[in-house]
Structure 1
Amino acid sequence: MTGKMAVGNITLNSAENTPNESSCDVFIYQRAAVVLFPIFYSVVFIVSACGNSLVLYVICQRKQKFNSTSIYLVNLALSDTLFTLALPGRIIYYIRHFDWPFGDLLCRLTTLLFFANTYAGIGFMTCISLDRYLAMVHPQRLPCLRSVKVVRRVSCLVWALVFLEVAPLMFRSMLREHQGRQTCMEYFNFEGSRFTPYLLILACTISFCCPLIIIMACYAKINLKLRAAAKHNSVTSRSKRNHRANTIILLILLTFIICFSPYHLNVMQFMSRKIHHQATCEELRAFKVSSQITVSLMNFNCCLDPIIYFFAIKTYKKRVLSLFKDYLYTSGASTKMTAENSSSNT
């Protein structure tokens, strides 16, 4: 896992790199990047900050006890919120034409938050899928696995594993000089071992392919369960609880495929080719561009997660709709009063 995370950090200035890599300028697309990426990450920052803050506010205000799903979702929201804190620095970095002005320590912290969000998100999405699977397919089997006490321990375990996976990033400089600029968390500053491609492919298999298979299996099992139940009782197929469980898994699966698949598949295909031959300058440039785009998609997951909360927690959905109605009512009343005052003054 650590190796895969560090794939985002391969420098062209390392003495261990091949001549082909050290003489190749992969920043040829930066004119478009310095315009598009600040806009994209500014939108992500606003949506993520508002959406996940609302989630944490509403869930913390609720009077009901936390259940297994809500605990996992709170941890997912915390992960997204921490990631959001790193976005202003990245926005400034792109505006300054890939020049990091905040020093090496903050560059390392930004890198850590980026990848911690990715793999905490994958971990908790997998946990939610398994939780829904146990609730729908095996409601009477191993109920202890869905108890609040156990779920809290599982959440702590996920965070511990994520920390172990990303902690090595804090012990390696993420800052490199390139053409007079200090680049941070770029895609060519980790090369140095002929075993790196093998390690990255293995890491992608464990941290991406395995969770994806688990989530797809949970979705398939729940669907089969609902179809079998519908044959015996048509009312079961229309149950709101069953429909919500199915929707949650589907949303998680779609988010997983849209946000996480492009990045990991891109890394795996590039490393597979690199095992057989040294990458050309054109291939390095293509990998740099595709990596930058797929990382952006991966970071977009923090904007989609609030949608999962909306369908997963009934009280959250009701509270959000209530807040929205109150806002429209207050706004409408204020507009009406302003209009009445204006007419009375004329």
Structure 2
Amino acid sequence: MMSPDLEHNFSCTNLYDHRPVARVLIPLAYSIICPVGLLGNALALHVIFSNITKLNSITLYSANLAVSDILFCLSLPLRAVYYGLGFHWPLGEGLCKAITLLFYLNCYAGVNFMTCLAVDRFVALVFPQSLVKLRKVKKVRLVCLAIWLLVFAQTLPLLTINLTKTEHDNSITCMEYPNFEGLFKGLPYMLIVGVVLGFGVPLVTIIACYSILTRKLHLAAQSNRLTERSGRTKKARGVIAGVVFVFVVCFSPYHIDLLQYMIRKLFYAPDCMELQSFQISLHITVCLMNLNSCLDPFVYFFACKGYKQKLMRMMKWQAGTHFSSVGRISPESSGIGDVLGTRRNTGITMNTIREAQ
């Protein structure tokens, strides 16, 4: 006998009525996210593994986060094809399961590794001596391995169910929420617990680290102004602020959206219009969550010293190419002398921060 949820979904024929807009905007978004995410994260891996003898806790967490993002970006072209075809997946159940696995691996591996980055910076400044063992490379490798195993264990059950579904118009959908309804008893409870553990706990941990660290640095700056200018202080603030920003922009909308709908389902059965609205909001918030692959390199800018230097050298090379193409103009008349002076000062500042770190 068909479950009420599944029967309800079969009666809803309006769930993908927004496909004319989605088939243009979502592939366009992914065509930007994919190359930017690949380049930014590949640069991070290049910087980290070119200095493999200087691996530490923060570069290890950053490397694992970058690997997660790269694997996910490689699946985006297939997702773009799916949306471009108007929510039609002609590539079979196997590939649908593969990109579903990559999606959830990126999401929750990313959440956990960013949490580790924030906690690492917090421990480095607040408990630099008493908890120094937690930041040893051997222990960090074990933590990274445990995170991958945990996320795999959480997502592997998805491979045991059918993730594709033939709709009333004979299109085949892949990894859509209505495909899950009716397959699990107590689905709302499972998803609410998943949101709390997979997103809520890391978010509270990161905000707590950021709040305590900011308060401690503020008090230290009042007693010693040099502390405020410390490269190590700026690095810690930059890493945790970057992680908070990515959480707020990328992960919060999706999880809040999912949470509110599951809570509503506990009290009543949403009608087709509500389910359609939820579908539209999911497609928007999933795009935002996928944006984390592009924003994570901003975290590396503060976390990985070599990444910052490499990026700045690339920017200087591009600026130098631009100025050389303009022609020979005197520094006095063009202000280039000021630009060069600024570059020299920037180099001194970076050296000062590097020494402080």
TM-score by length of 2: 0.87
**Aligned counterpart in structure 1 of residue 170 of structure 2, from 171, 175, 180:** 180
Is 2:194 the counterpart of 1:203?
yes
Is 2:51 the counterpart of 1:62?
yes
The amino acid of 1:186's aligned partner reads E
Residue 42 of structure 1, CA deviation: 0.7
> Partners of 2:155 and 2:315 in 1: how far apart?
38
Q: Tell me, yes or no, if the aligned pair for 1:16 and 1:191 is still in contact at 8 Å.
A: no
Residue 334 of structure 1, CA deviation: 8.1
The amino acid of 2:115's aligned partner reads T
Residue 17 of structure 1, CA deviation: 4.0
Q: Tell me, yes or no, if the aligned pair for 1:72 and 1:124 is still in contact at 8 Å.
A: yes
The answer for the alignment partner of 2:287 in structure 1 is 296
The answer for the alignment partner of 2:179 in structure 1 is 189
Residue 64 of structure 1, CA deviation: 5.0
**Aligned counterpart in structure 2 of residue 121 of structure 1, from 110, 128, 143:** 110
Is 2:33 the counterpart of 1:44?
yes
The alignment covers a number of residue pairs equal to 324
Residue 169 of structure 1, CA deviation: 1.5
> Partners of 1:156 and 1:167 in 2: how far apart?
16
> Partners of 1:246 and 1:184 in 2: how far apart?
40
The answer for the alignment partner of 1:3 in structure 2 is none
The answer for the alignment partner of 1:23 in structure 2 is 11
List alignment gaps of at least 5 residues for structure 1. Answer: 1-13, 337-346
The answer for the alignment partner of 1:264 in structure 2 is 255
Q: Deviations over 1:11-37 (max 9, x none)?
A: xxx932444332112111111001111
The answer for the alignment partner of 1:8 in structure 2 is none
How big is the alpha-carbon RMSD for the aligned residues of Structure 1 and Structure 2? 1.8
> Partners of 2:215 and 2:319 in 1: how far apart?
42
Q: Tell me, yes or no, if the aligned pair for 2:43 and 2:307 is still in contact at 8 Å.
A: no
SS in 2 for 1:141: coil
> Partners of 2:77 and 2:262 in 1: how far apart?
31
Q: Tell me, yes or no, if the aligned pair for 2:163 and 2:180 is still in contact at 8 Å.
A: no
> Partners of 2:194 and 2:244 in 1: how far apart?
20
> Partners of 2:262 and 2:270 in 1: how far apart?
10
> Partners of 1:69 and 1:335 in 2: how far apart?
41
> Partners of 2:317 and 2:284 in 1: how far apart?
39
**Aligned counterpart in structure 1 of residue 132 of structure 2, from 134, 143, 150:** 143
Residue 194 of structure 1, CA deviation: 4.5
Residue 209 of structure 1, CA deviation: 0.6
List alignment gaps of at least 5 residues for structure 2. Answer: 328-357
Greater mean alpha carbon deviation, residues 177-186 or residues 56-65? 56-65
Q: Deviations over 1:263-313 (max 9, x none)?
A: 111111111111111111111111111111111111110000001101222
Q: Deviations over 1:127-171 (max 9, x none)?
A: 111111110111111211000110011000010101101111122
The answer for the alignment partner of 1:101 in structure 2 is 90
Q: Tell me, yes or no, if the aligned pair for 1:17 and 1:191 is still in contact at 8 Å.
A: no
SS in 1 for 2:232: helix
The answer for the alignment partner of 2:142 in structure 1 is 153
Q: Tell me, yes or no, if the aligned pair for 1:52 and 1:81 is still in contact at 8 Å.
A: yes
Relative contact order, CA 8 A, sep 6+: which one is greater? 1
> Partners of 2:118 and 2:275 in 1: how far apart?
37
The answer for the alignment partner of 2:206 in structure 1 is 215
Residue 333 of structure 1, CA deviation: 6.0
Is 2:85 the counterpart of 1:89?
no
Superposed, which structure 2 residues align to 1:213-292 within 5 Å? 213-292=204-283
Residue 212 of structure 1, CA deviation: 0.3
> Partners of 1:165 and 1:194 in 2: how far apart?
17
Greater mean alpha carbon deviation, residues 208-217 or residues 320-329? 320-329
> Partners of 1:139 and 1:289 in 2: how far apart?
47
Q: Tell me, yes or no, if the aligned pair for 1:107 and 1:174 is still in contact at 8 Å.
A: yes
Residue 63 of structure 1, CA deviation: 6.0
> Partners of 1:45 and 1:17 in 2: how far apart?
39
> Partners of 1:320 and 1:107 in 2: how far apart?
36
Q: Tell me, yes or no, if the aligned pair for 1:80 and 1:117 is still in contact at 8 Å.
A: yes
> Partners of 2:4 and 2:226 in 1: how far apart?
64
> Partners of 2:155 and 2:186 in 1: how far apart?
19
> Partners of 1:22 and 1:181 in 2: how far apart?
13
SS in 2 for 1:180: coil
> Partners of 1:233 and 1:81 in 2: how far apart?
42
